[in-house]
Structure 1
């Protein structure tokens, strides 16, 4: 496929950033640690759609219902309660979570309504045991962030965590259900994958200004993508920021490929038939092989795309299916019912959902002549996507009747964001290290340590908290054992010129082993300048060396971590200059 011209394609990308807050759950007092130490119950449920206030049923909810799945939920001690099961009314909203949400909205310059209304959003994919998710709109745009319009900010309950699927049974953990979650939605102002990745990264850094959770799964991105003549597609729940641009690029390529196929099929009839043989449902498409093998995007062909709609796996018919004698007999029956040519394709389904699956695939084949369908898609590990369900509509929302509107919410505070603090530090330590620091869990300690310190000490501390800490953790050194005050003492000593920056690594190792800083400091105390000069003189006389770099290496091997290399080099140059007179 040729390189993409995003401007010509009129690419429009919108983001929804979901960030967990570091508080207890939103409508009860359960922990949000997700330890899952002690399983206390299992609950089995089948979820059904209800009509909205306007008498409509949401199409996405209806789709999930017709999948005919049942859900089993695991409940853990201290991490779920009767509120999660909808067997007890929700408690008052978590004030800490609400305050964080309002502060985020205020610092994004969004308008916070005078009265906040809690709503229920219908969710039937099993991720909400009650069949709904509580959510409230906290901030409204328009507001600008890095040149992109922010549409809204919502505070909502996180979903249950999927564990596994066995046939029609899907298993979930309730430990994540109900954790406060911020959703920030942008307008579709982003024009290319690289900018989308940059905006997502900066929003993630901005959110870490506040009391939010960190680590894998604590922040997720939904992406809305459309191109000219295509359709809006929503990709749900991507977690790998590093490959977000690849995910978006693959979706754009997929839509471009589907539009190309539409043009080729415009004046061509699609001959598609369904028949039932021995409890199997067979889809037969005449002269379709060249389309079925068409590459849509990296690691995805059209046949894979079609099978997604029926939940059917793609296997090599001849190498797998026909190796079994019984299957050979089945295929013989299929051949008798269809005149199969070398360019035809057949898709066989069997089981409880066989008829529904084959009908879904048939509908998708016929839709190829129309173009790109609007839909929700789930991301795959290889940055491609698969069909999940239709896009939801407005019929999925209705008011929460168990809780009153919130009129007296906490007064918002203006907080200097991590992005602003990063920009300030970039002047001293550069963009890359500043970015590593602001997203590090050690950043609050780093800021405390560098207060009123020289630029030299700030640079040394920044390298320690990024490169040195990373290296030591890989070597198995438990940095978490070190008291923060002991780490502060290291950089106080650096600032006062008592120890060398080269000694920091060894000092941290000794602190991790439980040694006392005062004793360690004596061991690594800087050598007096007179002693350094004596060693320099002795080295030059003994070696007759005149090259500064080689002399520096020789002297540093003797003074080890008890002198700064810059000082040693300066003294070497002074000595050589004086000796030459």
Structure 2
């Protein structure tokens, strides 16, 4: 598929980066920010949520559509869950640690902190908040980052509470876990200055680097999410939620631009055909004897088959927007939003057990001609009615062009419909949390990761690759503490990056290793009680038995540091055992015997020390 001319299309994109902060407690309570396993839940409770009006008496369209889907929300609570998380007690004041980190990020992005921070409530009735709203606050405005394709403005930096984690769909609704709810989260919104997919990815990478430079953000899957706003000149603003990986951003922008191009072309064709959407009809009787398992499943349960004629849509519903995504897929997304499994449409029929004769009969009932298409939904009566109405509404917008909407990111770089774009009506003041006057002068601007890489090379003598691995890695703080203890910088960096990677490849469960484990190992190295050769074996032992201390594991594995007498005794034994080889090869036997000596000492001695002693003993023998 050829690349589009984005300048000619008038592509405009912006980013919203959501990053969890690595604080001790949550944003509005003293609960820990550690995630739990659902099996650890000690109890559960349920809620039903409904939208509320704004201060001006308005209802947000996105919240209103969400409320039309009747669902029960079940929440998993833990021994650490408090009344604030359950929405049974007012929130506490804004967490100081989270606010300080947000101000650090603002300084890195050259943003201006607001004079007074006011907490707002943002209506969310999808169950991800027990209260039916998310608390959010604006911390700073007017920043900027540089990209190779020009500057990108940073419009605002928000500090807000993370939503509850969706665990699974249930028969009655959705089950959420409260362990994630309330974790401090920063949201960084750019201005619509991005003009190409590549620039979108570069801007996201830049912002990600600034965030990690604080050393106060969580790492791992799900801790950072990117939302992308995309439009083209004749299209519409579409917000794409939940882009998990930076590697997907350029594909998301590229695919959304192409989707809008195809939708505009479809709209042009439909208008040339004077297309329209007809009335919904019940075609259950026509399909009562159908061999389609979906239709029989609906009708046998007192369900119905609803159909709508799409005048002028013949061949259009099945038209491809992107690989494996057609206009029919868009219609189906809207049907699924109301609980239906999907739709049938005549561009793909006869198929799925529906015969040509049945297609003709349905067309007669709804009054469809040769230039028309028909969409059908088979499900429970109410579900089918809601779903087919949603399909009809989406077909009407196809005639108009590109609808403004919120979409969800798929793993293949495509998107799916989620809900209408939210408006200003979903925001209103939080009355339980007093305003905060931030003090930017009280926080220091963190060192950028790019600057840290340079410092590690100049100050510690690390090569560029190792310096980047440590600076951008999760254990940067451990590295700096190890160097402060007196551990050789290259050894410390190699242990944290290369050694851990090699152990993981050998199926050692390195994810069990804690900061305390590494600190204990580095303390043994700094005190001369462990040779560097023993580090891999010691880390492996700690990973396998995480309850042991490093000292206990070293003793168990026989990894204490050997003195010079013990080293020489082991080397002499190896030399005497290989006397004939030394007599024949002299110093040529060194390499083979070096490995044998290190094996005999089992990581208890530094390789350089063993090497010196072995050379002496071979020369003495020769």
> Is 2:214 aligned against 1:182?
no
What are the superposed Cα offsets for residues 407-445 of structure 1, whole Å, 9 maximum, x if unpaired? 365722222233431343467556654444334332211
Partner SS for 1:392: coil
Aligned to 1:363: 393
Greater shift in the superposed pair: 12-21 or 194-203 = 194-203
Q: 1:516 and 2:554 equivalent?
A: yes
Say whether 1:173 aligns with 2:203: no
Tell me which residue corresponds to 1:293.
318
Asked if the contact 1:44–1:70 (Cα under 8 Å) also holds between the matched residues in 2, the reply is no
Distance 1:177 1:271 in 2: 45
Query: In the superposition, relative to structure 1, how do residues 434 and 220 fare at CA in structure 2: closer, same or farther (>3 Å)?
Result: farther
Distance 2:275 2:463 in 1: 59
Q: CA deviation at 1:469?
A: 0.3
Partner-residue secondary structure (3-state), 2:199: helix
Q: Residue 414 in 1 paired to residue 445 in 2?
A: yes
State yes or no: 1:387 paired with 2:417: yes
Give CA-to-partner distance per residue, 1:389-419, whole Å, 9 cap, x none: 1111122211112222223657222222334
Structural mapping, 1:49-64, within 5 Å: 49-50=52-53, 52-64=54-66
Asked whether the 8 Å contact 2:410–2:416 carries over to 1, the reply is yes
Report the equivalent of 2:269.
264
Residue in 2 that maps onto 1:40: 43
Q: Is the 8 A contact 1:39 1:77 kept in 2?
A: yes
**Alpha-carbon distance between aligned partners in 2 of 1:294 and 1:402, rounded to the nearest angstrom:** 52
Q: 1:451 to 1:404 in 2, by over 3 A?
A: closer
CA distance in 2, matches of 1:314, 1:356: 13
Write the distance in 2 (CA, Å) between the matches of 1:107 and 1:377.
Answer: 31
The reply on whether 1:106 has 2:107 as its aligned counterpart is yes
> Is the 2:51–2:59 contact (alpha carbons within 8 Å) kept by the matching residues of 1?
no
Distance 1:288 1:265, change over 3 A: closer
Q: Equivalents in 2 of 1:18, 1:81: separation in Å?
A: 24
Counterparts in 2 of 1:134-153, with a 5 A limit?
A: 134-144=135-145, 147-153=151-157
Deviation track 1:464-488 (CA, whole Å, cap 9, x = no partner) reads: 3223202213422556277334432
Q: Which runs of 5+ in 2 are unaligned?
A: 285-303, 546-551, 600-604
- Name the counterpart of 1:116: 117
- State the 1:205 CA deviation: 3.5
User: For residues 194-273 of structure 1, what are the structure 2 equivalents within 5 Å?
Assistant: 194-208=198-212, 209-273=214-278
Judge conservation of contact 1:71–1:169 (CA < 8 Å) in 2.
yes
Unmatched tracts of structure 1, length 5 or more: 576-581
Q: What is the aligned-residue RMSD (CA, Å)?
A: 4.0
Deviation at 1:519, TM superposition (A): 5.7
Query: SS in structure 2 opposite 1:468?
Result: helix
Query: Is residue 305 from structure 1 mapped to residue 330 from structure 2 by the alignment?
Result: yes
| Map of 1:579 onto structure 2 | none
Question: Could you tell me whether the CA contact under 8 Å between 2:280 and 2:388 is conserved in 1?
Answer: no
In structure 2, the residue matched to 1:578 is none
1:25–1:94: 8 Å Cα contact kept in structure 2? yes
Q: In the alignment, is the contact (CA less than 8 A) between 1:79 and 1:174 conserved in 2?
A: no
TM-score, normalising length from structure 1?
0.82
Q: How many angstroms apart in 2 are the aligned matches of 1:116 and 1:290?
A: 54
Alignment correspondent of 2:495: 464
